[in-house]
Amino acid sequence: MQNKGAIRLFAILLALVSLYQLIFTYHARKVERDATEFAIRMAGPDADQETLRGYEVQFLDSMAHEVVYNFLFGLRQYTYLETKAREINFGLDLRGGMNLILEVQVADIVDALSNYNQDDNFRSALQLAREREMTSTRDFITLFGEAFEEVAPDASLAAIFNTVELRDRVRYDSSNDEVIRVLRRESEAAISNAFNILRTRIDRFGVVQPNVQRLPQSPGRVLIELPGVTEPERVRNLLRGTANLEFWETFDNQTIQPYLIQANEIITRRVMAQRMDSAVETETTDDVDVIADQLDDADDETSLLRDLDLEDIDTTDQDLRTLFTILQPVGRASGPVVGVAASRHMAQIDEWLQLEEVRSALPRDLRLLWTVKPIPRNDLQFWVPNAGDTREQFFQLVAIRANTMDGRAPLEGDVITNASDRVTQTGAFEVAMSMNSEGARTWARLTNANIGKSIAIVLDGYVYSFPTVQNEIRGGQSSITGNFSPEEAKDLANILRSGSLPAPAHIVEDHVVGPSLGAEAVSAGLKSFIWAFIVVLIYMMIYYGFKAGVVADIALVSNMFFVMGVLAAFNAVLTLPGIAGIVLTIGMSVDANVLIYERIREELKAGKGLRLAISDGYKNAFSAIIDANVTTFLTGLILFMFGTGPVKGFATTLMIGIATSFFSAVFITRLVYEWLLDSKVDIKFGSKFTSNLFKNAKIAFLEKRKIAFILSGAFFLIAIGSLSVRGLQQGIDFTGGRTYLVRFADNVNSVEVFSSVSEAFEGANTEVKTFGTANQVRIATNYLVFETDEVADSRVEDRLFAGVQPFLPSGTTQDTFMSDYVMSSQKVGPTIAADIKSRAAYAVVFSLIVIFLYILLRFRTWQLGVGALAAVIHDVMFVLGIFSLFYTIAPFALEIDQAFIAAILTVIGYSINDTVVVFDRIREYRLLYPKRNLREVFNLAINSTISRTINTSMTTLVVLLVIFVFGSEVIRGFVFALIVGVLVGTYSSIFVASPIAYNFIKQKEKAEAKKV
């Protein structure tokens, strides 16, 4: 063995590095175990989870900067936070937490750069570009430029974008092309700025091991992973806001009340007209506006109702909602609050106030905005005397005075230089702000002009506070109060310090996993991993004998150690699919050992001595091992390039595992054998049960190719028919929508849950399926799938709660349901779904092309490449057909999602892996036996590799079956796809790839013979 010393040195260094990286995980876990023991000791073993978690957080906060690991006797000291940052990074599905993809849309940035210009041509071009962006692969700026040229060929973009902010870059005489270039630069800068702001907000949020990264394939999107987060709504609010801070003058409610009375009269007439319109026959009238006009002109409502023969309409009906029936006017106190309403009525009030006839009745400089916080319970009786003991939340409607020339606030948040949360003398929480010199001057002027009046502090369209100015405020110091909790004050200060986003950040994908589900996934994943590992170790010792089996097992154990060390070193994220990827590398490591051992057994049968047989066995197996590993690595690389989230984690662990398994199987085992040979140890590569298995196998595989073609063709047609008629059950990754994993206290009937939930979701496409145990269901729906704001999220959660409420214990509130019964949730926007679908298709097609080219270059025979490609297509269609045929009757989810695409690409890699081993032997035998019949060479090659094929397939299947049985329900469909793929991949390498390649090569030989 050449370079033995260098290999031994590299192995030792790799082991030391892996140990160094993994020891951080050990020390971090030790501190966390101490935290759990502290919590139990302080709160008692029977305390609820929230109390225990509070004590754990208290302990961990106290240990944050304490030294917990002394490296090399104190040469380097690491605190708990430092060890935590270097530990193995578990994904959300293993530890719970939140995964989001936020998108700052370029269209919103362009709108903001125009200062929200209302030019008709600009608005039309912007809308047209938005529509085209949904189906185009080109960037938005290009689409907008083309749309503007179409809508207004002779118009100038400079007239729209010559704003105060862009005046130094856009002149009045700038051409449209010059403006487009400016917009492109500005949008790229704005997206970079948005990423930095979001990252700063997350960094200050205090999450350990957050992952914030831009997605290169989508310039405006940011991936945020927050492990361990237990307050998802707080995170959403923190990230969604643009931090558009404004200081506004206000109206006194006495000034606005007469206008609201007029608005109420207009709305009342319109509502009554709508009620009448629904009661009047079509031939009488079907025009709401006509009836509204008649109501206007009538002396009294009763006479009009009599004239229209509608005396049955009751104008005092409590169901006849008008403005003042759901908005309680405020007349008892001065100030800017003009009304109070329950949260369920706010959307209706906003809709009414936006009616053109209502807006024309209100002052032009009036803006009505809601407070961000509900009225405190102890103050509710003052504002809503008849509220009683209601649990509803009531919000105040504040009258803003927008009297500036450009309609912008007299003072905005860009003047804020610092912000911090603090506690007042009364124990309340507030946010203190400091302004720059320009802001301080404006603030002093604004407060001096409004002494005795209120100034409203507005953030992202919501009023946070409206303090009454007592005197002029100099120096630029101010504060925001508003009944804040400590977390709310901290988050608000964080947002203000981070800066304002250039445009709203829309949450286009949202995945929340509860900590208990994460803990269960860890348990199931580790259990499946350990059992699979043990089974493979035992199998190797049984099949190849104790000594040779132990050497192979040393390679397997080394491989696992190296994989975990490299994962920690690269700070890669370990997910449930990642564990599946690691377990799959066990199969790859076994495959390499099987190839080597089968070659050694062949050399021993040829009469060679043990040392020479081992040397030649390694040498002759090397080519097949390289081919098998490279093809699988290529599929992993494609997965990494095109995948996101868990799929990328799977690809990462797969590629790392392939590299470490290759090193362990080829070099570590060789070092062990060199040591055993030098120690004169006798080694056998088989037991008495397996030594003669497949010995002198002479199966005429190619003679059975027509039967195989008929069987494969028949299923191929069945698969196409099923795909055409039944299709596939697409997960929300591909369709967009929301899913919730709900765990009830008792077993439930999924059909009854579906009936209730589908009614609550008002006819939307909804699916309810038992997930694992009978008390657990997975609810998927596309209800409000095209709505992405926070209002839509809360509406969906309201509908979900209404649908499952009959199956919950009485007295369960919606907050309790979302925190205790919803184990995980996921939201995927339609644009994300379209991207995932297209990227999945690219990944599959690209992997087929790459593998075909690799085989073509490696074997220099296009016929072999065609055979391999046909086998892969056969395997993919087989898996798709199985999923299409059985998705309605399988007791587990058979959905087409990102994990399924990972499974398909893994199947492609495995199929090629198996095929290239056979092809490698065909190439070798054609060189060794050039005068033998082609059919004989093919049969001989397949027979000589049948032992390897069976062994590798068996070990991989055993591993996958153990994961399938003991693993988490979350990856059961994923593992099922791999099981089907391994079975059909083994079949296709023998009965599809080889016969097709044989037929093409035979035709070529016949053609060449005719030429001669």
The DSSP code sequence of 41-85 is: HHH-TTS-HHHHHHHHHHHHHHHTTSEEEEETTTTEEEEHHHHHH
Contact 324, 339 (CB under 8 A): no
Stretch 620-642: mean pLDDT, rounded?
A: 81
Report how far residue 392's alpha carbon sits from residue 343's, in angstroms, rounded to the nearest whole number.
7
What CA–CA distance (Å, rounded) separates 916 from 909? 10
User: Which residue matches tokens 């060929």?
Assistant: 153
> At which residue do the structure tokens 């030391």 appear?
16
Beta pairing partners, 396: 340
Strand partners, 76: 71
Query: What is the spatial distance between Cα 447 and Cα 451, in angstroms, rounded to a whole number?
Result: 6
397 pLDDT exceeds 90?
Answer: yes
The one-character DSSP state at 817 is I
Longest dimension (CA), the chain: 118
Q: What is the DSSP letter of 342?
A: E
Q: How far apart are the first and last CA of the chain?
A: 47
The residues, any chain, with a CB within 8 Å of residue 596's CB and separated by 6 or more, are 617, 618, 621, 625, 665, 666, 669
DSSP letter string, 545-569: -HHHHHHHHHHHHHHHHHHHHHHHH
CB atoms within 10 A of CB 181: 15
Give 429-458 as a 3 state SS string: EEEEEEECHHHHHHHHHHHHHCECCEEEEE
Q: Which of 654, 555, 656, 655 is nearest to 597 (CA)?
A: 555
Write the DSSP symbol of residue 768. E
With both helix axes pointing from N to C terminus, report the angle between 898-928 and 576-605 in degrees, rounded to the nearest 10: 10
Quick: pLDDT tens for 869-883.
888 889 889 998 998
Lowest mean per-residue pLDDT among 286-290, 349-353, 473-477? 286-290
Burial of 786 (0-12, 13-18, 19+ CB in 10 A): exposed
Q: What is 247-500's CATH topology? A: Gyrase A; domain 2 (3.30.1360)
Percent of the chain whose pLDDT exceeds 70: 84
- Residue identified by tokens 């995927």 is 828
Distance CA 228, CA 515 (A): 7
Q: Which of 296-305, 429-438, 497-506 has the lowest average pLDDT?
A: 296-305
User: What's the confidence (pLDDT) of residue 315?
Assistant: 40
Q: Are 586 and 530 in contact (CB under 8 A)?
A: no
Of 76-80, 241-245, 449-453, the poorest mean pLDDT is in 241-245
Q: What is the pTM of this model?
A: 0.64
- Whether the CB-CB separation of 238 and 495 falls below 8 Å is answered with yes
Mean pLDDT, residues 380-394 taken together: 73
Look up residue 470 and give its DSSP letter: -
pLDDT at 318: 46
pLDDT band at 249 (very low <50, low <70, confident <90, very high): very high
Q: Mean pLDDT, to the nearest integer, of 298-314?
A: 43
Residues 307 and 305: their CA atoms lie apart, in Å, by: 5
738-760: average pLDDT: 83
Best mean pLDDT range from 243-247, 801-805, 956-960: 801-805
Buried b (16+ CB within 10 A) or exposed e, 378-402: eebeebbeebeeeeeebbbbbbbbb
736 against 448, higher pLDDT: 448
Structure tokens given for 284: 């009488």
Alpha carbon distance 212, 897 (integer Å): 23
Strands in 299-374 per DSSP E: 328-329, 337-342, 366-370
pLDDT one-digit tens code per residue, 532-589: 778 888 888 888 888 888 888 888 888 888 988 888 887 777 776 677 677 667 777 7
- Which of the four pLDDT bands, split at 50, 70 and 90, describes residue 654? confident
Q: What pLDDT is stored for residue 331 in this prediction?
A: 63
Is the pLDDT at 280 greater than 60, yes or no? Answer: no
CA distance 170 to 412: 24
Q: How many CA atoms lie within 13 A of 624 on its CB side?
A: 30
19-23, 688-692, 820-824: which range is least confident on average? Answer: 688-692
Separation between Cα atoms, residue 364 and residue 952, nearest integer Å: 78
pLDDT over 80 (residue 936): yes
- Residue carrying structure tokens 């050497």: 551
Q: Which residues contact 656 (CB under 8 A, 6 or more apart)?
A: 563, 566, 567, 570, 572
Quick one: which H or E segment has residue 21? helix 4-43
Q: Residue 973 carries which side chain, given as an amino acid letter?
A: G
Quick: pLDDT tens for 692-702: 666 667 888 88
For tokens 């299947």, name the residue: 957
CA atoms of 411 and 247, how far apart (whole Å): 5
Determine the pLDDT at residue 362.
92
Strands 97-104 and 211-214: unpaired
Q: Which residues contact 221 (CB under 8 A, 6 or more apart)?
A: 101, 102, 103, 214, 215, 508
* Residues 642, 836: Cα–Cα separation, whole Å: 9
How far apart (Å, rounded) are the C-alpha atoms in residues 790 and 460? 13
CA 172-174-175 angle, to 5 degrees, is 130
Q: What is the pLDDT of residue 304?
A: 41
Residue 743 near residue 805 (C-beta atoms within 8 A)? no
> Partners of 419 in the beta sheet?
433
For residue 233, pLDDT beyond 80: no
DSSP state for residue 775 in the 8-state scheme: T
Query: Which residue intervals of the chain bear CATH 1.20.1640.10?
Result: 515-680+700-725+834-1011
At residue 396, the 3 state secondary structure works out as: strand
Relative to beta strand 737-743, strand 477-484 is unpaired
Query: What is the location of CATH 3.30.1360.200 in the chain?
Result: 247-500
- pLDDT computed for residue 207 by the predictor: 58
The C-alpha R_g of the chain, in whole angstroms, comes to 35
Residue 366: pLDDT over 60: yes
Q: Long-range contacts for 703-707 (Cβ within 8 Å, ≥24 apart)?
A: 704/991, 705/991, 705/995, 705/998
Q: Do residues 91 and 573 touch, judged by C-beta distance below 8 A?
A: yes
Q: Which one-letter DSSP state was computed for residue 283? A: T
- Comma-separated ranges of CATH 3.30.70 domains in the chain: 737-825
* Count of all residues that appear for the chain in the document: 1012
> What distance in Å separates the CA atoms of residue 445 and residue 455, rounded to the nearest whole number?
12
Give the type of residue at 738. Answer: R
Q: Is the dihedral of CA 561, 567, 571, 577 positive or negative?
A: negative
The CATH fold of domain 515-680+700-725+834-1011: Multidrug efflux transporter AcrB transmembrane fold (1.20.1640)
Task: Indicate the SS3 state at residue 750.
Answer: helix
Looking at per-residue pLDDT, the higher value among 290 and 890 belongs to 890
CB 661 within 8 Å of CB 593: no
Q: Look at residue 319 and tell me whether its pLDDT is greater than 70.
A: no
Check whether 372 has a pLDDT greater than 90: no
Tell me the pLDDT tens digit for each residue of 44-98: 877 776 677 677 877 877 787 788 888 877 778 888 888 887 887 776 666 667 7
The residue behind tokens 């090397």 is: 622
114 touches 161 (CB < 8 A): yes
Let me know: does 349 contact 323? Beta carbons within 8 Å: yes
Q: Which CATH class is domain 737-825?
A: alpha beta
What 3-state class would DSSP assign to 762?
coil
